[in-house]
A = this chain, B = another copy of it.
Amino acid sequence: MTHNPQALAESAAASMYEADTCSRWLGITVEAVRPGYARLSMQVRREFLNGHGICHGGLMFTLADSAFAFACNSHNINTVAAGCSIEFLKPVEGGDMLTAEATEQVLSGRHGIYDIRVTNRAGEAVALFRGKSAQIKGHVVTPPGAAQ
């Protein structure tokens, strides 16, 4: 095994995805992960539509929040969300494919800030999300070289 940050990010993501019942249930897939970065996608199912016949904002948030989680745990230190904000820019129709791209803006001590851009199949931004993270104890996967 190696301390290679990219390999560690991929291991952490694989372990998290395996355990993340909710993201798998919603059909969210992890397309790419790097240290401080993740890109996830999700198709808008009929069950995700709200009373206006468009995608429920909560499901758009859920995709962005999962992308945030994969990005902020990519350093293999257990990290949780402290707070998030989202701005909704465009309505999203059923059947569309959403992509959420999470980028680390700041990681200072135990706290980080991540920006997530959610785009539709046409590549238009439909929501902007900002997440504040807090590292807690433990690792996502056993770090290379650690005593078992």
Contacts and interface: CB of A to CB of B under 8 A. Distances in A.
Interface of A: 15-23, 25, 46-53, 56-59, 61-66, 69, 78, 80-90, 105-106, 108, 111, 113, 115, 125, 128, 130, 132
A90 B15 CA distance: 23
Nearest to A136: B52
B56 A22 contact: yes
B83 A86 contact: yes
A132 B80 CA distance: 16
The 7 closest A-B pairs by CB, nearest first: A58-B62, A85-B85, A19-B51, A22-B56, A20-B51, A83-B87, A16-B51
How many copies of this chain does one complex carry?
A: 4
Interface of A is mostly: mixed
B85 A57 contact: no
A90 to B, nearest CB: 7
B22 A47 contact: yes
B69 A65 contact: no
Contact of A130 (B48, B57, B85): B85
Contact of A62 (B53, B61, B80, B83): B61
Given A22-B50, A23-B50, 15 more contacts: A19-B50, A19-B52, A20-B56, A21-B46, A21-B48, A22-B59, A57-B81, A58-B58, A58-B66, A82-B88, A84-B85, A85-B85, A89-B106, A113-B128, A115-B115
